[in-house]
Structure 1
Amino acid sequence: MKTLSKLATALALGSILAAPAFAAPESYVVDGTHTFPRFSYSHFGYSTQLSRFDRTTGTVVFDKAAKTGSVDIVIDTRSVDTGFGTFNEHIQGEDFLDTAKYPTATFKSTRVLFDADKPVALEGNLTLKGVTRPVTLTLTSFQAMPHPMLKKNAIGANAFTVVKRSEFNAGKYAPYVGDEVRIDIAVEAIAQ
């Protein structure tokens, strides 16, 4: 009986060691010092205006082996930076972001699309000014590797989408000031 028990234990241990190793999903915290959502729009056709948000938080879960992941981003809309203080206040007003009532915007992914072993798009829901709409963020770059200074795993990506601000109750002056707004996000996140 002892020999049979030892054989069963050896077979079980051998099958565990012979099985391929699967990496578990890894959780990352958004690095707010390197994560800046930007938005751009046509200003009466004269120029494309570019602004950003200075405070962003969130989490990312990434599992390269299983080709899955999730993203949960929170943008402090009160941190809008147009480059001009008076215009920052204008953008935060009721006609646009209405930050007194809606101080954050969020993106929560519902699906991550992969090409080979790299994510190429994120489907999810953008909530802005109390309105939630599905959007797809297209990734133009993605990197997952140990951070050379922090000595922890890190990921980074650049992504964009285009939305209509009128669909988020922020369409004042459209079509003169462009209704279509391109949102770009440069994000870096560090393993927990």
Structure 2
Amino acid sequence: MWEAAINLDRSILNHLSVFRLSRPWHFLQVDGWSLLPRQLPGATMIRIVAFSLAALLAASQAQAQSTWSFDRGSTEVSFIGHRFGAAVTNGRFERYDGSFAIDFDHPERSRVRVTLETASIKAGSPLVDGFISGESMLDAAHYPVASFVSENVSRTGEHSLDIRGRLTIKGVTHPFDVKATVDGDIERAKRGDALPFQASGSFLRPAYGIGRDVNVVDDRIDIVIKGRLKR
């Protein structure tokens, strides 16, 4: 009997052992669970081992990630409109959600998803709120949710990230880039402390069919999120 040695992380090797018996039987054991001995051709056995290794690698990566969400008591999601390059209007979304699978050691494995309820706009007065969430702008009655889903995360500095993904508003989806910075102690965050952060990105209103005939603000709209993430 011999054990097939594979150069993997020791934690994976501790859970995987593949044995070939002196008879044409094969035995696969993973995390203490085993497949009953069966007569399997060599090629089939290789496929089983490959599948098992892939599953274990995926599990190892998942364990390295931790799931976070917005700390609503200290987080604000705001938007800023400009006129001739100067900020002239701003507001916030009162209802929002976010899911963050964060791998501090390998940020490129992290995943981000944020949703905003378009009817939850607060921009200073009920009249302005109704206009922005109305049919010619966000059309919250037909498109109640705007969302961002990350596709690529890359580290740009000790405490900064570029997050590239897809922003969907009014049923229209375009690429969207986010610049994010982490203000807290990452080592303490790994142990469970809340993580202060800020993130921002910009889009053009006409690309999403927002206020095509509106000229009191420029096409560019900034989205800014400041607050904390918690487990």
What secondary structure, in the 3-state scheme, does the structure 2 residue paired with 1:167 have?
helix
Q: How does 1:102-117 map to 2 (within 5 A)?
A: 102-115=143-156
Larger strand proportion, structure 1 or 2? 1
Question: Could you report, residue by residue, the CA deviation over 1:92-123 in whole angstroms, capped at 9, with x for unpaired residues?
Answer: 11100100011111111111111355441110
Question: Could you report, residue by residue, the CA deviation over 1:15-60 in whole angstroms, capped at 9, with x for unpaired residues?
Answer: 98xxxxx971111122223232211112577861111111111210
Scaled by the length of structure 2, what TM-score is found? Answer: 0.65
Alpha-carbon separation, structure 2, partners of 1:139 and 1:133: 19
- 1:189 maps to 229
- 1:125 maps to 166
Alpha-carbon separation, structure 2, partners of 1:24 and 1:125: 25
Alpha-carbon separation, structure 2, partners of 1:145 and 1:53: 31
Largest Rg, 1 or 2: 2
Residue 85 of structure 1 is aligned with which of 98, 102, 126?
A: 126
Question: Could you report, residue by residue, the CA deviation over 1:62-86 in whole angstroms, capped at 9, with x for unpaired residues?
Answer: 1112233111111111110101111
Report if the CA contact (8 A) 2:159-2:181 is conserved. no
Structure 1: where are the runs of 5+ without partners? 1-11, 17-21
What secondary structure, in the 3-state scheme, does the structure 2 residue paired with 1:95 have?
coil
- 2:66 maps to 26
Alpha-carbon separation, structure 2, partners of 1:156 and 1:45: 29
Alpha-carbon separation, structure 1, partners of 2:82 and 2:180: 23
Alpha-carbon separation, structure 2, partners of 1:47 and 1:57: 26
Structure 2: where are the runs of 5+ without partners? 1-9, 15-60
Report if the CA contact (8 A) 2:80-2:87 is conserved. no
- 2:53 maps to none
Question: Could you report, residue by residue, the CA deviation over 1:155-191 in whole angstroms, capped at 9, with x for unpaired residues?
Answer: 2321111110000010333444211111111242211
Q: Does 1:41 align with 2:81?
A: yes
Report if the CA contact (8 A) 1:64-1:117 is conserved. no
- 1:99 maps to 140
Q: Does 1:172 align with 2:215?
A: no
What secondary structure, in the 3-state scheme, does the structure 2 residue paired with 1:102 have?
coil
Q: Does 1:74 align with 2:124?
A: no
Residues 1:188 and 1:157: Cα distance change in structure 2 (over 3 Å)? same
Q: Does 1:52 align with 2:52?
A: no
Residues 1:65 and 1:152: Cα distance change in structure 2 (over 3 Å)? closer
Deviation at 1:91, TM superposition (A): 0.7
What secondary structure, in the 3-state scheme, does the structure 2 residue paired with 1:33 have?
helix
Q: Write the letter of the residue equivalent to 2:141.
A: A
Q: Which moved more, 1:81-90 or 1:182-191?
A: 182-191
Q: Which moved more, 1:104-113 or 1:46-55?
A: 46-55
Alpha-carbon separation, structure 2, partners of 1:90 and 1:145: 45
Larger helix proportion, structure 1 or 2? 2
Report if the CA contact (8 A) 1:29-1:60 is conserved. yes
Q: What root-mean-square deviation, in Å, do the aligned CA atoms of Structure 1 and Structure 2 show?
A: 2.7
